[in-house]
Amino acid sequence: MIKFENVTKIYPGMSSPAVDNLSFTVPSGEICILVGPSGCGKTTAMKMVNRLIDATEGAIFVLDEQGDMSNVLEMDPIQLRRSIGYIIQQIGLFPHRTILENIGTVPQLLDWDEARIRNRAKELVTMMNMPIDFLERYPHELSGGQRQRIGVARGMAADPLVMLMDEPFGAIDPINRNILQNEFLRLQQEIKKTILFVTHDIDEAIKMGDKICILNTGGLLEQFDSPANILAHPANEFVEDFVGADRALKRLNLVRVEEVMNAHPPLLQATQDVEQAVGFMVEQGIRFAYVVDADRMLKGYVRRRDLKGKTGWVNEFLEPAAITILIGTSLKDALSEMLVVDYANVCVVDGKNRVRGLIDTNMIHEAVIQSTAASEAEEA
């Protein structure tokens, strides 16, 4: 847990504060994103936690290993920093040290013995899906994405309860950034760290955050809430502008297809009789239907008008499905795929191409309206 209590930072010689009376709490095991335009003091706020910058007023509490909340301003900064994971952009790796030495930085400062450091490094590198022989390499021998993974591993080396991440994926190309973000989210589900994460990218904030803290120039807290609530109910005009005019679309990012799809769709069996199939479609009131085999594996689809008056098996009239949506896809991605075809509904499949449900644009629309209503009800 990280708790900011009326924290203010005024740099010497400046009249206006960089961070102004900031109060919020990051619950244990959650990711809180500090986001805002440049000059909003988000990095300053983060650096006050490990005292790279000292707060002028107020107090910051961090949950320590004994389970007590202790004020960082009363702690020895060196010990404090060693107990907090610190992850910055990949250029922060030490170029003259091997990956092993880089990962082992904090453990070495904590006087772990060599074997223990090596074991921990091996464990972390494996966790990051990288081969163990990377440990003997130097940062310049790795790609940007690999270096950033090492940066994350280095921050986690001493298994801190709290981690600070300063635009960790900022300098990486969009494709790799997406991969790294997903990997990190998966990892976070296992490790459950309390994380304060700084970014200027609202999309990243919505994607990564359990809570988002939007700061305005001068370090003013504009809104502190969950991503869904921020998108549904921006507190003021600033937040509304900051999250962008497409915030309804952004909210689609927060919902996965399996949450809104029809999980019991009308399906045809490949070995079904045509006449029977037409009867089924009339009964369901649908003009076309997806066809699966005995294992619910997607075979294609058939149109009612193609079957009318014909005899034989359904699979003789199959047409291949042009798109399917993988389970776990966000509604935004699903929608953008659906917009390019003229299907009334699209199959949601799992990794083995088994049909798990159907989704159409109406369902997506409804989901947006419902989530707005739900968060309104929550507020009331």
Partner 1 sequence: MATDLAQRQNKFWREMLNGWMSILTKPSQDTFRAQKAQSDPLKTVLGMFILGLVLGLRALAVKPAALVTGRGTEVILVDLLRMIFFTEVGFFILSLLLFIIAKGFRGIGSFLQQSYLLSLITVPLGMIVVAFLFVGEKLGLTLIAVFNPLSPAGVLGVFVILFALYGFLLLLFAMQAAHEMPASAVIYTLGALFLAWGILRIASMFIVGEENIITTEWVFIAEQWVKGTAQELLLGHLWLVAFSVSIAIVLGVTMGIFITWPSRRPKLSHLFILIPLVLFLLLWAASSGLLGEGMADQIMSAAKDWSRSLKRIDNLYFGPLLIIVAALIAKPAAVGMIMAVFTIILYALFLTGEVASDFTLYIAGIILTIPSVALFGAMIKPLGIGPFNAAFALILYAQLPILRNTYIGIKAVTPEIVEAGRGMGMTEGQLLLKVKLPMAVPVIMAGVRVSIVMLIGIASIAAYIGNDTLGRYIFEGIYRAQEKRYYAGAILVAALALAADYFLGWLQNRLTPKGLKGRRETA
Residue 322 as a binder of partner 1 (CB under 8 A): the answer is no
Burial of 38 (0-12, 13-18, 19+ CB in 10 A): exposed
Residue 200 as a binder of partner 1 (CB under 8 A): the answer is no
CA distance 357 to 290: 10
Q: Within 13 Å, how many C-alpha atoms sit on residue 4's CB side? A: 29
Nearest to 358 by CA among 337, 322, 380, 327: 327
Q: How far is the CB of 182 from partner 1 (least distance, A)?
A: 23
CA 252 from centre of chain: 13
Query: Which of 44, 89, 194, 216 contacts partner 1 by CB under 8 A?
Result: 89
Characterize 360-378 residue by residue with b for buried, 16 or more Cβ atoms within 10 angstroms of its Cβ, and e for exposed. beebbeebbeebbeebeee
Residue 170 as a binder of partner 1 (CB under 8 A): the answer is no
Residue 145 as a binder of partner 1 (CB under 8 A): the answer is no
Residue 106 as a binder of partner 1 (CB under 8 A): the answer is yes
Query: Which of 1, 52, 326, 327 contacts partner 1 by CB under 8 A?
Result: 52
Characterize 5-28 residue by residue with b for buried, 16 or more Cβ atoms within 10 angstroms of its Cβ, and e for exposed. bebbbbeeeeeebbbbebebebee
Residue 2 as a binder of partner 1 (CB under 8 A): the answer is no
- Count other C-beta atoms under 10 Å from residue 131's C-beta: 9
Q: How far is the CB of 154 from partner 1 (least distance, A)?
A: 8
Task: Report the chain's terminal Cα–Cα distance, integer Å.
Answer: 27
Query: Which of 98, 181, 330, 361 contacts partner 1 by CB under 8 A?
Result: 98
Residue 133 as a binder of partner 1 (CB under 8 A): the answer is no
Residue 94 as a binder of partner 1 (CB under 8 A): the answer is yes
Residue 114 as a binder of partner 1 (CB under 8 A): the answer is no
Please identify, among the stretches 56-64, 77-85, 300-308, 348-356, the one whose residues bind partner 1 according to the rule CB under 8 A. 77-85
Query: Which of 11, 138, 317, 343 contacts partner 1 by CB under 8 A?
Result: 138
Query: Which of 19, 40, 80, 231 contacts partner 1 by CB under 8 A?
Result: 80
CA distance 159 to 146: 20
- Asked if 174 and 17 count as a contact pair (C-beta separation under 8 A), the reply is no
Residue 91 as a binder of partner 1 (CB under 8 A): the answer is yes
| Binding site residues, partner 1, CB under 8 A | 47, 50, 52, 78-83, 86, 88-89, 91-98, 105-106, 109, 138-140, 144, 154, 164, 171
